[in-house]
Structure 1
Amino acid sequence: MKKIIFLCFAALVFQSCADMLEEKNRTKAVPSYFDTAPGFEDAVKGTYSYMRSFYATERGMSLSVFGTDEYTNGSDGSFKFVNQYTSQFDSRTTILSELWTDFYRGINTANTAVDRSENIVGLDATLKTQRVAEVKFLRAQFYFILVQLFGPLPLTLHETTAASTEAHRASVTDIYTAIVEDLEFAVANLPATQPNWGRATKPAAQHLLARVHLTRATMDPSATPPDEYQKAADLSNEVLTKYSFKLLTDYAKVFEQGSGEINDEVIWSVQYTSDPLTNGGGNNAHVFFLMEYDVQPGMMRDIANGRPFKRFKPTNYTLGLYDRSKDSRYDKNFKQVYYCNKPGTYTINGKSVTLATGDTTMWLPGVELAADVIAQKNFQVITPSKYTEKLFPALRKYLDPLRPDVTTFEGSRDFLAFRLAETYLIRAEALLQLGQPGAADMINKVRRRAAVPGKEADMEITDGDVTLDFILDERSRELLGEQHRWFDLVRTKKLVERVKLYNTQAKDNIKDTNVLRPIPQDQIDRTTNSDGSAFLQNPGY
């Protein structure tokens, strides 16, 4: 599998910083380098690297998984307050400033490539236009994530070459206008496929633009919803019908590590690698969703079962979404059996049990069982009434058994940012909002694939069954933990309602103002505008 080699460019940052300047001197990447064809190509590659600041990282996961109806906090780790919406979640929260800074660095890297492209010689004109379309796709995605998180924010579409303390928050309308223009350019100028897996493509731009229109319909006051929903429906239909993508027959195989990361369902993914020189901070998603298995009888930490951070615990809402008699996704999403890797004699269910390597040592059946049934077992049976912030069903779609040792944090999985199942659900939501038929057919494509063999017909629904809440439930069943949920709930105006209903640790604190995150204090402190205007904080923080 070919990977794009990601580079970081010290000369292309939104704000200057000493350690990056030192890196620039070591690599000799002087600004004039980006006026050359090799420098331009490196600037394009470098823009991709900033996606790793959000996807499959602690900051990205905390800002998109925590504080929703799907997941609440487990026992350990940082940023519980992001889930709980306490006053500790404020403008000094490090993950906010890290993401803000990294994304503006990415934006400025993209701006540099766009601005300097006109003067690049020695590069085929068609290829150069394609590269500009790639960075516009990325720039649009940076801004799309930022505007959903923060609302109005600085909009810069040209290279920043010197430090400045001037910064003004552009309107949500202006930001969405820039996002749509960038993505329309990308759609018009990107190829359907790329020789390097991970580069932006035309269908990836169409998928993202469909998601943008679906979101702008509710989040931009100037948007005209019928037009936005129709565009989302049309663009998603293009992705579904004009290319060779298809749903895999087995939901679990979508997340197979290694060669399985390149499959017919993946529209676009963020690239990670086992090479420590080019992997950045790595894909960290493998640690956050795991329970504390490693101190239980018969168990110790190993590579296959993962490094358990006990960070994200599924809510009862999430665990109750699946009809397991016909829907296979509960069994394929959650780890239910653990096998002994620390043989010995232990007290289990009130009796002495000797466990050999490979024996069952824990079972999470997902339902309550009679006490006499449990007593007969020679292993722990952890039923829902026994779930704690340390013991709960672990999401296994991110497990990374290819890590070199049990402590490695920098995983090598690609992160599947856009996949075809979501495209079906985007179109379903757009059709529902338009009042047009066909939403159920889109959802049934996803549900039939998820069916227990022989239960495909039982999984089907009709248009009369489709509501916004049903679509949100189906998105949760299909896209659980894939960094969509907070954005989904804000887009559909359901965040406060659903958190109050389903997230016990967050329900007493969440407020209407939590549909935006606090602006990083660093940005506010370093802004001194010539007109005397302040860089205002979001309401409620």
Structure 2
Amino acid sequence: MKKISYTLTLLTLVSITLTSCKKFLEREPFGKTGKNTLFETVNGAKLAINGSYNVMLNYYKNEFGMYADVASDNLIRGTSSTVMLPQFNFQSIIGDDAFAVGHIWLNIYEAINNVNNVLNAIPELKTKFPDQTKTLDSLTAQGLVMRALCHFDLSRIYAQPYNYTADASHLGIPVLTKTPSPGELVPRKAMKQTYDQILLDLNNALPLLQQYANHTTPSTISYQAALALLSRVYLYQGDWEKSVANATLVINDNRNHLAVAADYKYVFLVGGNKPESIFELTNSGLSASSTNIYTVFSDTTNASYLISAKAKFLFDDDDIRLTNMFLTPKNGNNKGRLITTKYADGRVSALKPPLIQIIRLSELYLNRAEANWNLKKYPEAAEDLRIISQRAHPTKTITINYGSAADLYKQIADERNRELCFEGHRLFDIVRRKEPLIRGSDCNATVCSLTYPNDKFILPIPGKEAEANKAIIQNPGFN
């Protein structure tokens, strides 16, 4: 069938989970009866939004969530690793539809399609149920933020960063606000247009979220979560003042504060209301598989990737992030090499992984530090850097000394990696800062360095998509 067909996963109403359709380009988005039944009531729309959180969790716990670290300088390959090996070696191909290249595209567009069907059903529901306007506005706001985050995540994987061209006129991604009609060809938007839609959705969500959805639980999108994501998007865009402004609104909100050093590990391993968590996806009742982030990064015996020497040497010996969030297995294939415990305590088989952090308060301090540095507000940048470093060194008094602006910038970049490593940032940070990728002396990939700019910093558009949708232009360097 020569068309784009973004699969909308049907909700199983009893369990509020979703069944994934694997033949992405060969299926209609939604069975007519299923869609009509689901959106007959406000409760059906609630179930659809809850299901959309699960679809987002699906792509974060799988290849997308691992990509930015697997393809970075933070990891080396374990002895028996096969998961995401083409991405680790920068050997992705357009025919990789059954693995990372195809899965990331499929899974994120599934999430977008789920959300769009909710958003497009809400106006009619408001007419039918005028007394439920507040609830429906809440669902609208959550959906808008989800759609913005999904488009943003796709743009980081399949398109060069916003500042790749001076006016962001290079190719972004297909931007969808509704399910395409059968036979409709959907081209890629320019990166500027891609960001315009991301920012429009986030800013449109803010007034609705402000009315009712303050930060009560980090597993539901809140006003603070939308502000935090705006700070991240503006940082990527290079709008430093807006990145600072949105970060400051979250930092100054008394609902949020950094976890104390003794509680740091619980930010990652315990679900529930934690003031450092701004938005997290909760993995309720789902066990780990051999190919998702819990096992691949955090299983004592079976982790596919280990911490590189370059990443380990970033940390002081008394840094709580080193002592609390890394583990040296005593047996199995990973004996003697560090793994991260941000996704489990090292015993994935014995622990149902509870959550994935999407954005934490510490990132807002680091966003603000980097943005203020770009505004030449060096003392302000140094103070935010100090706050994050001080939390990581509770037995010391931290002072930030820098001999030059460049020295301070490197300290901010290193602190960002120390704090956010293995949370899906590293490669994206390297690329948006227009830096080379330089892996360490223990690199065991086929590619140990890449200069910027580079076609290999992004993935190809999946082959089935390119074949079905003739409006799609393939990324340079892939044929």
* Pairwise TM-score range, normalised by the shorter structure: 0.7 to 0.9
Secondary structure, aligned partner of 2:357: strand
Letter in 2 for 1:449: R
Q: Distance in 2 between matches of 1:48 and 1:396?
A: 24
Identity %: 21
Are the counterparts in 1 of residues 65 and 293 from structure 2 also a CA contact under 8 Å? yes
In the other structure, the counterpart of 1:518 is 460
In the other structure, the counterpart of 1:320 is 313
Secondary structure, aligned partner of 1:54: helix
In the other structure, the counterpart of 1:77 is 81
Secondary structure, aligned partner of 1:289: helix
In the other structure, the counterpart of 1:105 is 110
In the other structure, the counterpart of 2:325 is 333
Q: Distance in 1 between matches of 2:288 and 2:296?
A: 18
Q: How does 1:75-474 map to 2 (within 5 A)?
A: 75-78=79-82, 79-86=84-91, 89-93=93-97, 94-120=99-125, 121-122=128-129, 123-151=131-159, 152-160=172-180, 162-164=181-183, 166-190=185-209, 191-193=212-214, 197-217=218-238, 228-250=239-261, 253-255=264-266, 259=270, 261-274=272-285, 276=286, 284-289=292-297, 306=299, 308-324=301-317, 326-336=318-328, 338=330, 391-400=336-345, 405=349, 411-436=352-377, 437-453=379-395, 455-457=396-398, 460-461=400-401, 464=404, 467-474=408-415
Secondary structure, aligned partner of 1:488: helix
Query: 1:502 offset after TM fit, Å?
Result: 8.0
Are the counterparts in 1 of residues 25 and 465 from structure 2 also a CA contact under 8 Å? no
Structure 1 residues 502 and 186: alpha-carbon distance in aligned structure 2, compared to 1, 3 A threshold: farther
Secondary structure, aligned partner of 1:267: strand
Query: 1:141 offset after TM fit, Å?
Result: 0.4
Q: Distance in 2 between matches of 1:196 and 1:263?
A: 8
Q: Distance in 2 between matches of 1:501 and 1:337?
A: 22
Q: Distance in 1 between matches of 2:279 and 2:413?
A: 22
Structure 2 unaligned segments of length 5 or more: list them: 1-13, 160-171
Structure 1 residues 282 and 310: alpha-carbon distance in aligned structure 2, compared to 1, 3 A threshold: closer
Pick from 46, 59, 78: which aligns with 2:51?
46
Q: Distance in 2 between matches of 1:178 and 1:462?
A: 39
TM-score (norm 2): 0.82
Q: Distance in 2 between matches of 1:139 and 1:315?
A: 34
Q: How does 1:60-71 map to 2 (within 5 A)?
A: 60-71=64-75
Secondary structure, aligned partner of 2:438: helix
Q: Distance in 2 between matches of 1:520 and 1:132?
A: 30
In the other structure, the counterpart of 1:491 is 432
TM-score (norm 1): 0.73
Structure 1 unaligned segments of length 5 or more: list them: 218-227, 291-305, 339-360, 363-387, 529-533
Query: 1:336 offset after TM fit, Å?
Result: 4.0
1:8 lines up with 2:18 in the alignment: yes
In the other structure, the counterpart of 2:5 is none
Query: 1:462 offset after TM fit, Å?
Result: 5.5
Q: Distance in 2 between matches of 1:429 and 1:69?
A: 20
Q: Distance in 2 between matches of 1:96 and 1:428?
A: 33
Q: Distance in 2 between matches of 1:414 and 1:273?
A: 8
Q: Distance in 2 between matches of 1:76 and 1:83?
A: 14
Higher Rg of the two aligned structures: 1
Q: Distance in 2 between matches of 1:501 and 1:493?
A: 22
- Cα displacement string for residues 366-402 of structure 1 (whole angstroms, at most 9, x for unaligned residues): xxxxxxxxxxxxxxxxxxxxxx976411222322578
Query: 1:189 offset after TM fit, Å?
Result: 1.4
Are the counterparts in 2 of residues 76 and 310 from structure 1 also a CA contact under 8 Å? no
Letter in 2 for 1:48: Y
Letter in 2 for 1:421: S
Q: Distance in 1 between matches of 2:79 and 2:291?
A: 22
- Cα displacement string for residues 180-199 of structure 1 (whole angstroms, at most 9, x for unaligned residues): 00001122211453666511
In the other structure, the counterpart of 2:168 is none
Letter in 2 for 1:153: I
Query: 1:177 offset after TM fit, Å?
Result: 0.1
How many equivalent residue pairs?
A: 441
Structure 1 residues 240 and 452: alpha-carbon distance in aligned structure 2, compared to 1, 3 A threshold: closer
Query: 1:32 offset after TM fit, Å?
Result: 4.8
- Cα displacement string for residues 190-221 of structure 1 (whole angstroms, at most 9, x for unaligned residues): 1453666511001100110110011122xxxx
In the other structure, the counterpart of 2:4 is none
CA RMSD of aligned residues (A): 3.3
Structure 1 residues 70 and 398: alpha-carbon distance in aligned structure 2, compared to 1, 3 A threshold: same
Structure 1 residues 175 and 500: alpha-carbon distance in aligned structure 2, compared to 1, 3 A threshold: farther
Structure 1 residues 500 and 322: alpha-carbon distance in aligned structure 2, compared to 1, 3 A threshold: closer
Are the counterparts in 1 of residues 76 and 443 from structure 2 also a CA contact under 8 Å? yes
Structure 1 residues 215 and 256: alpha-carbon distance in aligned structure 2, compared to 1, 3 A threshold: closer
Structure 1 residues 402 and 392: alpha-carbon distance in aligned structure 2, compared to 1, 3 A threshold: closer
Query: 1:433 offset after TM fit, Å?
Result: 0.8
Structure 1 residues 505 and 259: alpha-carbon distance in aligned structure 2, compared to 1, 3 A threshold: closer
Which piece of structure 1 moves more, 90-99 or 167-176?
A: 90-99
Are the counterparts in 1 of residues 66 and 422 from structure 2 also a CA contact under 8 Å? no
